[in-house]
Amino acid sequence: MEEIMNRAQVLIEAIPYIRAFHGKTFVIKYGGHAMCDPELKQSVMLDITLLKYLGLNPILVHGGGPEITEMLGKIGKKSIRLHGQRVTDRETMDVVNMVLAGKINKELVTMLNHFGVKAAGLSGQDGGLLIAAKKKMPGGEDLGFVGEVEHVNPELLHTLLAKGYIPVVATVGVGVEGEIYNINADTVAGELAAALQAEKLIILTDVEGIYEDPADSSTLISKLKIAKALEMIEDGRIDSGMIPKVQACIYALRHGVSRTHIIDGRRPHSLLLEVLTDKGIGSMVVE
Q: Compute the distance between CA of residue 42 and CA of residue 19 in angstroms, rounded to an integer.
A: 26
CB of 53 to its own copies, least distance (A): 4
Residue 84 binds its own copies (CB under 8 A)? no
Of the candidate spans 29-37, 124-132, 207-215, 225-233, the one that interacts with its own copies by CB under 8 A turns out to be 124-132
Span interacting with its own copies, options 116-124, 141-149, 200-208, 227-235, rule CB under 8 A? 116-124
**Do residues 124 and 167 lie in contact, with contact meaning Cβ atoms separated by under 8 Å?**
no
Number of residues that bind its own copies (CB under 8 A): 69
Going from the C-alpha of 263 to that of each of 144, 229, 267, 280, the distances in angstroms are: 31, 16, 9, 10
**Given candidates 88, 92, 123, 260, which one binds its own copies under the rule CB under 8 A?**
123
In the complex, the smallest distance separating the C-beta of residue 105 from its own copies, rounded to whole angstroms, is: 8
Under rule CB under 8 A, residue 181 binds its own copies: no
- Rg, C-alpha atoms of the chain: 19
CA 10 to chain centre: 27
CB neighbours of residue 18 within 10 Å: 15
Q: Strands 259-264, 200-205: parallel, antiparallel or unpaired by DSSP?
A: parallel
Q: Which of 11, 38, 139, 240 binds its own copies (CB under 8 A)?
A: 11
Between residues 76 and 138, which has the closer beta carbon with respect to its own copies?
76
Closest CA to 175 of 142, 132, 129: 132
C-alpha to C-alpha distance for 54 and 18, rounded to whole angstroms: 6
Q: Whose Cβ is closer to its own copies: residue 168's or residue 248's?
A: 168
Q: Does 10 bind its own copies (CB under 8 A)?
A: yes
Check: CB of residue 114 under 8 Å from CB of residue 156.
no
Rounded Cα distance between 151 and 40, Å, is 33
Nearer to its own copies among residue 103 and residue 228 (C-beta): 103
**Minimal distance in Å, beta carbon 6 to its own copies?**
8
CA nearest neighbour of 233 among 257, 250, 208, 254: 250
Question: Using CB under 8 A as the criterion, which residues of the chain lie in contact with its own copies when the complex forms?
Answer: 4-8, 10-12, 14-16, 18-19, 22, 46-47, 49-50, 53-55, 71, 74-76, 94, 97-103, 105-106, 109-111, 113-116, 118-123, 125-128, 155-156, 159-160, 163, 165, 172, 174, 178, 180, 268-269, 272-273, 276-277, 279
